[in-house]
Every structure is written in C-alpha cells, then in structure tokens.
Amino acid sequence: MTSFADRLARPPLDRASLILLGATAVVLVVDAWVLATVPYLAPPGSVLREALFAVAWIAVGVVAMWLRRGLLARRILALSLVLAADFVGSFGLLGSDPMPRLLVTLTATLIPLQTALAVHLGASYPTGRLLDPFGRRVVVAAYAVAGVEAVWWTFAHVSARTCDACARSYLHVVVPESVHRAVSLVIGAAWVGLCACLLILLWGRYRRAGRRERRLLRLPYASIAVAAALYAVLSVVAAPRGTSAWGVSMTTLIALQVVALVAVPLSFLVALLRERLAYRRIGELVVKLAGGAGADLERSLAIALGDPTLTVAFPVGDGFADSRGRPVPRPEPDDRTTVTAVGEPEMPMALIRHDRSLDEEPALLTAAGSATRLMLENARLQAEVRAQLREVRESRARIVNATNEARARLERDLHDGAQQRLLAIGIALQLLRQRPGDASLFDAAEGELTSALTEMRELAAGIHPAVLTDLGLVAALDALAARLGARVVLEAHGPVRRCSPEIEAAAYFSASEAITNALKHAAPTLVRVSVIDRDDRIVIEVSDDGAGGADGDGSGLVGVRDRLASVDGTLTIDSRRDHGTVVTLEVPCA
C-alpha cells in the first residue's frame, strides 16, 4: 500500500533517460555531419522520412521522461538511440573510406537489434517493466534471435540500396545463395513465432486489466498488434527471398515504417498526453467539491481519475466505513486494483482503492491527493459521525429489545415462581379454615412463604440489588461473587470511590454479564474480578482460565458494550484460544 505523502515530492528526471537522450543527440549530430560530408545514394525524401521516424520516437521518449515515467522513457529512448545510429548507414553511402564502411557495418549489426528493442518495449508497455515470466521469456528470445540475426547481417547481408560504388561492410563475406536463403528462412520463422507470442501476451494482459487500464491500453496495444502482425507477414514473404521483413520492397518498407515508426509512437504519445489532460478534471473536481456541500466525493474522484471502480474507505473505530457511514471491509489490493493511503500509512485519513494503472501516473495521484486532502478529511469526519449515529441507532434498538426481553423474562419468573408460591399459600390458608388445628398446613404455608420471599429477593437483586445502592459497587460485586460460588474471586486494589447511580449500575450489570458469560461458556476453574480506581475512571477486569476464543460480536458482549456506551464507558476483550479470556470494562467516575 502506498501513500499520497510518498508522492508529494515530485521525483527528478530519470538519469538513465537523460543519458540516453544525450547519446541520441550526439548520434544525430554525427548523422548530420556524415550526410553533409559523405555522398550517398538515397534520395532526400528517404533521408527526411527516416529522420522523422527517429524524431517521432525521441519526442515520445521526452514526453515519457517529462511525465516521470522513467522505465518507459528508457525503453523508448534506447530504441530511439538505435534508430538514430543505424539509419545513416542504410542510405547507400558511397566510397571506400573508413567512415562510410564503419557506418555500413554498424547498421548491419544494429538493424536486427531495433526489432528486439521494439518487442521489449511492446511487452513492457505501459510500465516499462516485465511483470510476468511469459513476457520475460518472449523478450529474452527476441534478443537471442536478434543477436543471431545481427551476426548474420554483419557478415552476410547485402543492403537493397547497395551498388558497385557503395561502401561495403568491413566484415562482409560471400555466402552461397542456398545457405543465405536457409538462414533467412529460420530467422524469419523465429520472428513470426515471436510476433505470435507477443500478440498472445498483449491479449492476455488486456483481458486481465481493469476498466480504466483497458481504456489506456486499447490504442497502444492495437498499434503494437498491427505492427507485429505486419512484421510477421513480411517475414513470411521475405524468408524465401533470403532477406528480412525490412528488405522485401521499398513499398513494404515504407508501410512497415509508417506503422511501426509512426503509428505506434503516435498512439503512445496520445496515451501519455491523456495523463496531462486529466489534470483539467482535477481542477474541475476542486471547483465542484468547493461549490457544493452535497457533492459525492467518491464519485467525483472516480470521474476525475477516470476510474469507475474507485472506492474510498475511512477508518472509523476498529473498522472502516464508506462516505455514508456504512461499515465496509478494509480495502485490499488484487490483480486489477491497488490501495493508496491518504495521510500516514499507519494512521491513514482514508484508503482509496483504485485501478493499478494509476500507480504509473504518480503526478496525477499526487495532484488528486493534494486537491482533495481537506475534503477527504471533512468526508472522513462526516463518515465517522454517520457511523456513530448508525451505531447509536442500532444500540438503541438493541437496548429496547433487551429491555423487552428482560421484561418478558421477569414476567415469566414471577408467574412461574413467586406467583405459584403465593397461590399455594392461599390454598393452604383455605384448608386451615376447614382444619384449624392441622400443623402440617401451617408448616407448608410457612415453607412456601419462605421460598416466595427468597425468590422475590433474587428477582429484586437481578433488577437492582439493594447493596449496590447502600454500599456501592465493590460490595455489590462481592455479594455477587459470594452467590456464584468459590470459582469467582473478587480483588479490590485499594479504596474505590462512589460514582453516580447510573454509572455504578452500568458497571455492576456489565461485570455481572461478563462473569456469567465466563462461567457459562468458558468452563473455567477460576474467574478473577479486579476493581481499580484509576484517575477519573473505574476499571473492572474479569479474567478466566477457560478455553478462550471468545466472540466479541456475540449477543452477550454486544449487550455489555451497548450498556457501557450509554455512560461513555468502553469494553475491550483479549481472548486467545487455550489461553483464557480477559474482559476489561472502564467507566468514567469524576
């Protein structure tokens, strides 16, 4: 997970890209000097066309470098450097001087390399990185085929523009025609297979991409696919003739150059410039959010960043909530999306889940984060308030339900217990009228009366024990521990002051529920209850040596949390499997 804070400092221009750009400029100066001093066979139109092809790629590389797309800029400028270095030697330089012959030799070696660099660029677009093993294998194979073809061209290839007066390669040797055709056929078949693999690679990536990334990839991938398909077809045509896809004919050469050296860089340029155009949407986003309090921040961000799948989650309490305060799971990245933290990664203001393609546009994400930081903070506060209101409503509903259930339970206990006892006493008194001297009836009535009083005291203690009102929280908990038996032990660390009746009642019944839950579900040998008066709070800790693994979202503990929340108290649970459970209750007591 990344953060907007990591992106706020605009990175410097990529040093490797600057070096490649400088080297390309030097090569172009050398090319211009050669064209001005060495005679050549090619017409001026061909020279201008080749120069424009190189300049097109250089322009795209500069734009990528300016947009801080370092790896992509390196790939593009490396291809530009090779294009600038090899195109002069293909103009049919005249004479036998060392310079023309050296340039012809260099061109024969570099032309196959430009095809491998183009495959590398296409396989790594738009990040400049090879992210999957299949892509890496395709690129390695392309460089291997290019290496073999470079050696073959250096020693055996003859340019289509050659003539008796043209400069010859220093390393050229005469090869039988049959061998020349056989080697050309093998190399052509290898390039056809690599073009097919590249098309398969691009199609697989496009299918796995998210909606935003697909929109960005559509035009560049289409141009790469057309160029690869055309190169494969021309390789099939060229192989039986003993040449390469670049040497079938002048017409096919121009067609291939227009597609590979104009259409592809133009599509790259359009895709890169879309990033700059997106800044206008960021400006519109700021105006829209500043002008309307009811603006939907999440939807506005999605529109500004061109990502319809974008979602925003705000940390609220122990979880996350959307802009409406509804609880949502913590955003997690997947194959198509990633997560960016606004603010500090450890304590983010918000988590934005977005298309992974935005990671390659750090400037755009930085602008969006900077423009919406205050608005995101406001949205986070609103989401927190909405979540709290939602929790209050749900808590009220649970309290009402618990009150109704308690009322029904009390009614049932009175009906099944004390009411039946009183009814039995009434029957015994009626019988005494008929048999005034029957002592057994007196004994029965007395026993029923004693049982009825005991049950009434227990019911009264359950509703509100008198000892809690008279003697306070510690005494009430001590009486509760005595009733529950030897497994419950109370420890009071120093004197505990009296609090308001409602706070003492909330603390007592919450502790009572926690103790009852422990005895009922954990099967402990001992439940230890400690009470501490700490600063302006009363802390009650209920620990057991039971099975552990308590569910903090169970109905019992949720009821405890609701009861404590009504007096601004808190509940924390530490329960590990086979290590017992510790429930800590805190209530204010000023």
Pinpoint the alpha helices (H) of 305-347: none
Phi, psi (degrees; rounded to nearest 5) at 210: -75, 180
Least trusted range by pLDDT, from 12-21, 474-483, 552-561: 552-561
Rg of the chain taking only CA atoms, in angstroms:
41
Is the pLDDT score of 571 beyond 50?
yes
Query: Residue 533: is its pLDDT beyond 70?
Result: yes
Residue 124 has pLDDT above 80, yes or no: yes
Distance of CA 158 to the CA centre of its chain: 54
Question: Does 37 score more than 80 pLDDT?
Answer: yes
Query: Tens digit of pLDDT for each residue in 438-464?
Result: 667 666 666 666 766 665 665 555 555
Which pLDDT score, from 0 to 100, does residue 505 have? 82
- Among the residues of 309-438, which ranges form H helices? 362-416, 418-434
Q: Which residues contact 285 (CB under 8 A, 6 or more apart)?
A: 300, 301, 303, 304, 368, 371, 372
Q: Check residue 8 and give its pLDDT.
A: 45
| pTM (predicted TM-score) | 0.57
Structure tokens at 460: 């009264």
For 582, other C-beta atoms within 10 Å of its C-beta total: 17
Among candidates 378, 380, 411, which has minimal Cα distance to 315?
Answer: 380
Greatest Cα pair distance, the chain, in angstroms, is 150
pLDDT higher than threshold 80 for residue 528: yes
Residue ranges and CATH numbers for the domains of the chain are 12-271 (1.20.1070), 296-377 (no CATH), 467-588 (3.30.565.10)
3-state secondary structure of 352: strand
Neighbours of 590 (CB within 10 A): 9
Task: Please give the Cα distance from 330 to 322 (Å, whole number).
Answer: 10
Q: Which amino acid is at 263?
A: A
At residue 293 the predicted structure's pLDDT band, cuts being 50, 70 and 90, is very low
Query: Which distant-in-sequence residues (6+ apart) come within 8 Å of 554 by Cβ?
Result: none
The H or E element containing residue 541 is strand 537-544
Mean pLDDT in residue range 42-56:
81
Region for 472 from its dihedrals, namely left if φ exceeds 0, alpha if ψ lies in -120 to 50, beta otherwise = left
Q: What is the mean pLDDT of the chain?
A: 77
Read off the pLDDT of each residue in 202-229 and give the average, rounded to a whole number.
86
Is residue 394 pLDDT above 70, yes or no?
no
Percent of the chain with pLDDT over 70: 71
Return the C-alpha torsion angle 530, 535, 536, 542, nearest 10.
Answer: -20
Phi/psi of residue 411, each to 5°? -60, -40
Contact (Cβ atoms closer than 8 angstroms) between residue 18 and residue 358: no
Query: What is the mean pLDDT of the segment spanning 54-70?
Result: 87
Identity of the residue numbered 301: L
* Distance in angstroms (rounded) separating the CA atoms of residues 79 and 267: 16
Q: What percent of the chain has pLDDT over 90?
A: 12
pLDDT band, very low/low/confident/very high, at 377 (cuts 50, 70, 90): low
pLDDT at 143: 94
SS3 (DSSP) at 163: coil
Residues 6+ apart with CB under 8 A from 234: 245, 246, 248, 252, 256
**Per-residue pLDDT tens digits for 464-506:** 567 777 888 888 888 888 877 888 888 887 788 888 888 888 8
Q: Is the pLDDT of residue 327 over 60?
A: yes
Is the separation of the CB atoms in 76 and 57 below 8 Å?
yes
Contact 581, 575 (CB under 8 A): yes
DSSP string, 458-471: HHHHHH--HHHHHH
Count of all residues that appear for the chain in the document: 590
Q: Are 271 and 306 in contact (CB under 8 A)?
A: no
Nearest CA among 384, 210, 208, 383 for reference residue 302:
210
Q: What are φ and ψ of residue 292, in 5° steps?
A: -140, 115
Query: In this model, does residue 403 exceed pLDDT 50?
Result: yes
> CA-CA distances (angstroms) from residue 115 to 47, 54, 274, 384?
20, 14, 27, 56
Comparing C-alpha atoms, which of 553, 405, 477 is closest to residue 561?
A: 553
Res 260 pLDDT > 70: yes
**pLDDT band with cut points at 50, 70 and 90 for residue 278:** low
Distances (CA, A) of 6 to 9, 11, 331, 348, 437: 7, 10, 19, 13, 96
**263 φ/ψ angles, rounded to the nearest 5 degrees:** -65, -45
Tell me how many degrees the CA angle 171-173-179 measures, rounded to the nearest 5. 130
Q: How far apart are CA 376 and CA 300, in angstroms?
A: 12
CA gap 129, 123 in Å, rounded: 8
> How high is the pLDDT of residue 297?
72
Is residue 113 within 8 A of residue 154, CB to CB? The reply is no
Among 196-205, 222-231, 558-567, the minimum mean pLDDT is found in 558-567
pLDDT band of 159, cuts 50, 70, 90: low
pLDDT of 162 reads 57
The arithmetic mean of pLDDT across residues 83-101, rounded, is 76
